[in-house]
Amino acid sequence: MIPITSFAGKAVAVFGLGGSGLASCEALKAGGADVVACDDSIDRMVEATRAGFITADLRTVSWRNFAALVLTPGVPLTHPQPHWTVLAARQAGVEVIGDIELFCRERRRHAPNAPFVAITGTNGKSTTTALIAHLMREAGHDVQMGGNIGTAILSLEPPRAGRVHVIEMSSYQIDLCPSLDPSVGILLNVSEDHIDRHGTIEHYAAVKERLVAGVQPNGSAIVGVDDGWSRAVADRLDQAGKPVVRVSVKQPLADGIYLERETIVRAAGGARSELARIGGIGSLRGVHNAQNAACAAAAVLALGVGPGVLQKGLRSFPGLAHRMEQVGRRGSVLFVNDSKGTNADATARALASFGDIFWIAGGKPKTGGITSLAEFFPRIRKAYLIGDAAREFATTLDEFKVPYEISETLDAAVPNAARDAQAAGLADAVVLLSPACASFDQYRNFEVRGARFRELALALDGVAPMNTIEAPT
């Protein structure tokens, strides 16, 4: 835990008592603050009371004495409308911040030069975060990983010289961190997402930009430039006189880091050097993972990791659970859990990464279905359809003459797909769970769905397991 001393002797309101909210309460209390905790859920209020915190309905108390409102990231700050606590705080002139802002202030107080890597982007945040943490550990560093990836930042060990904090940040978290100042900041990409919470794509992109714009002097701002929004961010950093490392997996760069076939290359001052090869690394399969790897490489090089350690660390990276996770292999058949593929765009990345696919898809459908995936249908040997979307998906696959069966459940789909993949006698077949759907028709969340796929695959005769990183939830 990181005791928050910047509010010692002051009253602080905390709203939202999930994992990060309770961690904020504990950290503030440990640092000497007087904490008043609140949540719209009575059950969470009871839980906080049992944990020893003072709780109160913040509608009924005076805000005059509060030094700050610490808001959990899941609570609306601006859109569709500010939460009632935000309006109350603003009316009273009380600042509204989040747990990562508390971390930043504490780091600035006690260890301002301690390495702090912050990662954001519409896609790829978790894999890049886990990969950077893995590479830094491989290089022998004391590493703390958390934030949006699952472990609340204030539950980690405190900043200190030599200890590296690798923190995944959502746009919600950035919005609550006005003094964000990482030593290494990464913006992977920007595409339309969370518009209900930010109002417009322009505002969403501007929030993301703040992470790299706030990088400390002599730090490293790393920006993927394969989309227009991110390219504009990189250009603005340049215009502001802030050094920026551009990263591309679509085209060579005169100055930056890019992908050349299966090699990560750095260009600078007219010189070109090869940094690492990612060909044959199963956990980094696909162009989306190439971007994750290239940005991670830029980050660890900025922190002093050499190319030799980088290459070794990339090859030993086990991957992240539920994100193109290599579960196991039986002969020439690979079993891949991409349960995090909860929409067509995410599933497209998985389908693009393999040739002969026995595809398990379906669940609670999302708007648009799977028609956008048609370019990948020639890669699919057979589909196994589950959940509420099964018949909708069947109609689409009929139109494109893709073989399928309606399996209804994972329990039926996994052994059937494994049987057909084995019988096909292909040199490199894959049984791929990438549902292009939410899980809520049959499972509590995508993690539970992915865990069931893993369990079913590993229960098959002759399947040898492969290692992965389980991100906390």
> Each residue of 201-210: pLDDT tens digit?
898 999 999 9
% of the chain with per-residue pLDDT over 90: 88
Q: What is the bridge-based pairing of β-strands 263-268 and 271-277?
A: antiparallel
Q: Is the pLDDT of residue 473 over 50?
A: no
Sheet with 11-15, strands from edge to edge, namely: 54-55, 34-38, 11-15, 66-71, 95-97
Instruction: Give the pLDDT band of residue 117 (cuts 50, 70, 90).
Output: very high
Other CB atoms within a 10 A radius of the CB of residue 179 amount to 11
Residue corresponding to tokens 């292999």: 329
Q: Is the pLDDT of residue 63 over 50?
A: yes
The tokens describing 247, both together, are 């990263």
Evaluate whether 422 touches 333 at the Cβ level (below 8 Å): yes
Homologous superfamily (CATH) of 109-316 is Mur-like, catalytic domain (3.40.1190.10)
Evaluate whether 225 touches 231 at the Cβ level (below 8 Å): yes
Residue 270 burial (10 A CB sphere; 0-12, 13-18, 19+): exposed
pLDDT at residue number 181 = 97
For the chain, the structural domain boundaries read 5-97, 109-316, 325-465
pLDDT at residue number 472 = 46
Encode pLDDT of 247-305 as tens digits.
999 999 999 999 999 999 999 988 999 999 999 898 898 888 999 999 999 999 999 99
The tokens describing 471, both together, are 């991100």
User: Rounded distance, CA 338 to CA 75, Å?
Assistant: 28
Domain formed by 5-97, architecture = 3-Layer(aba) Sandwich (3.40)
Q: In the predicted model, what is the mean pLDDT of the chain?
A: 94
The tokens describing 31, both together, are 């640092």
- Greatest alpha-carbon span in the chain: 72
Q: What is the DSSP letter of 357?
A: E
For residue 215, give Cα distances in angstroms to 146, 181, 194, 271, 437: 19, 5, 24, 26, 36
The tokens describing 448, both together, are 């539970």
Q: Which amino acid is at 444?
A: R
* H or E element, residue 67: strand 66-71
Q: Is the pLDDT of residue 94 over 60?
A: yes
The helix/strand/coil state of 18 is coil
For residue 372, give Cα distances in angstroms to 28, 163, 275, 376: 48, 44, 35, 9
User: Rounded distance, CA 379 to CA 339, Å?
Assistant: 19
Average pLDDT for 18-44: 96
> How far is C-alpha 120 from the geometric centre of its chain's CA atoms?
8
CA atoms within 13 A on the CB side of 192: 6
Homologous superfamily (CATH) of 325-465 is Mur ligase, C-terminal domain (3.90.190.20)
The tokens describing 164, both together, are 């590296």
The secondary structure of the chain in percent helix, strand, coil, rounded to multiples of 5, reads 40, 25, 40
Residue corresponding to tokens 């052994």: 415
Give the residues across from 96 on adjacent strands. 69
Q: Which amino acid is at 10?
A: K
Q: Report which of 185, 123, 152 is spatially closest to residue 323, judged by C-alpha positions.
A: 123
Q: Is the pLDDT of residue 468 over 80?
A: no
pTM of the model: 0.88
Encode pLDDT of 176-200 as tens digits.
999 999 999 999 999 866 677 777 9
Q: Report which of 197, 208, 184, 169 is spatially closest to residue 136, judged by C-alpha positions.
A: 184
Evaluate whether 298 touches 257 at the Cβ level (below 8 Å): yes
Evaluate whether 421 touches 383 at the Cβ level (below 8 Å): no
User: Rounded distance, CA 223 to CA 209, Å?
Assistant: 10
Encode pLDDT of 293-350 as tens digits.
999 999 999 999 999 999 999 999 988 889 899 999 999 999 999 999 998 988 999 9
Q: Report which of 264, 279, 24 is spatially closest to residue 152, judged by C-alpha positions.
A: 24
